[in-house]
């Protein structure tokens, strides 16, 4: 299913090296993943850094977002075939989906550190890549999942089989509202807008909601770092988190299921 990022030919794994018929080769790292990113920059400078990757992993391991994981696992409980997790992060959801023995799971992310952690969780074939040029054969995936990441319609369409399905997750209206209410004088609800696409048909929309209590300042900081507004919050608002030991909040996710036509 993997293709060469240089020439597009099929990659095959020989010993510890992925090679294509034109002689391009990509070493499989000790951790079991492969870097298929075509860039002169080292992987660690792209995407999330080590600290935020580990912070995210530790946060997710505490089970705060388990309702979403469980909903995804349930959704794919009867599924079989190939599944690509687009921007898989540190693999929390990917590895859970891969526990279904009827699914062959692939996951990629732009951040090498995220992919390294995902490969540690195991269960799938993990690689570093950019969603603008996914090194996966066209029409090869029965399913794709896509959580909290930018939407790249043409590439998602290309990798799916005819009739294949994409599940996109965006934050629900009340997602982390408890955190926002603490930080901002005028907290806004999310608009729940699923990506608009002409080529993929939206066939189902579901909502997963739960109420959680973040139990430590480190967990509050970790979830804050995972939000898009982390970098857009003023120092004055940020300071409101100081001394907060626990925080109760809603979490809410919208799952959009899209289908590729025949």
Q: Minimal distance in Å, beta carbon 104 to Zn ion?
A: 23
Is 7 a binder of Zn ion (CB under 5 A)? yes
Q: How far is CA 9 from CA 1, 16, 122, 132, 259, in A?
A: 10, 18, 26, 17, 27
How many of the other CB atoms lie within 10 Å of CB of 54? 16
Is 22 a binder of Zn ion (CB under 5 A)? yes
Instruction: State the Cα–Cα distance between residues 46 and 111, nearest whole angstrom.
Output: 6
Is 53 a binder of Zn ion (CB under 5 A)? no
Is 6 a binder of Zn ion (CB under 5 A)? yes
Nearer to Zn ion, 6 or 182 (CB): 6
CA atoms 62, 92, 38, 12: torsion sign: positive
Strand 247-260 with 200-214, pairing: antiparallel
Phi, psi of 194 (to 5 degrees): -80, 150
For Zn ion, the binding residue among 4, 36, 118, 255 (CB under 5 A) is 4
Count residues contacting Zn ion (CB under 5 A)? 7
Q: Running DSSP on this structure, what letter comes out for residue 132?
A: G
Task: Point out which span in 16-24, 41-49, 75-83, 252-260 binds Zn ion (CB under 5 A).
Answer: 16-24
Task: Point out which span in 2-10, 108-116, 179-187, 196-204 binds Zn ion (CB under 5 A).
Answer: 2-10
Is 17 a binder of Zn ion (CB under 5 A)? no
Residues binding Zn ion (CB under 5 A): 4, 6-7, 9, 20, 22, 24
């Amino acid at each position: 299913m993997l293709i060469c990022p240089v020439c597009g030919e099929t990659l095959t794994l020989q010993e510890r090296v992925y090679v294509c018929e034109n002689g391009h080769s990509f070493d499989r790292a000790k951790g079991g993943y492969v870097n298929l990113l075509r860039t002169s920059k080292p992987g660690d400078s792209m995407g999330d850094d080590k600290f935020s990757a580990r912070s995210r992993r530790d946060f997710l391991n505490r089970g705060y977002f388990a309702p979403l994981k469980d909903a995804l696992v349930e959704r794919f409980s009867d599924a079989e075939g190939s599944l690509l997790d687009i921007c898989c992060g540190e693999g929390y959801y990917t590895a859970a989906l891969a526990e279904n023995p009827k699914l062959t799971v692939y996951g990629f992310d732009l951040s090498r550190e995220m992919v390294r952690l995902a490969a540690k969780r195991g269960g799938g074939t993990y690689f570093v890549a950019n969603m603008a040029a996914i090194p996966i054969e066209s029409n090869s995936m029965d399913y794709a999942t896509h959580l909290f990441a930018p939407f790249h319609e043409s590439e998602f369409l290309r990798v799916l089989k005819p009739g294949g399905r994409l599940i996109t997750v965006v934050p629900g209206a009340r997602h982390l509202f408890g955190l926002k209410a603490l930080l901002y004088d005028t907290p806004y609800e999310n608009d729940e807008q699923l990506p608009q696409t002409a080529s993929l048909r939206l066939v189902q929309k579901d909502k997963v909601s739960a109420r959680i209590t973040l139990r430590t300042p480190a967990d509050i900081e970790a979830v804050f770092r995972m939000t898009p507004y982390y970098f857009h919050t003023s120092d004055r608002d940020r300071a409101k988190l100081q001394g907060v030991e626990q925080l109760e909040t809603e979490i809410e996710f919208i799952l959009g299921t899209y289908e590729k036509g025949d």
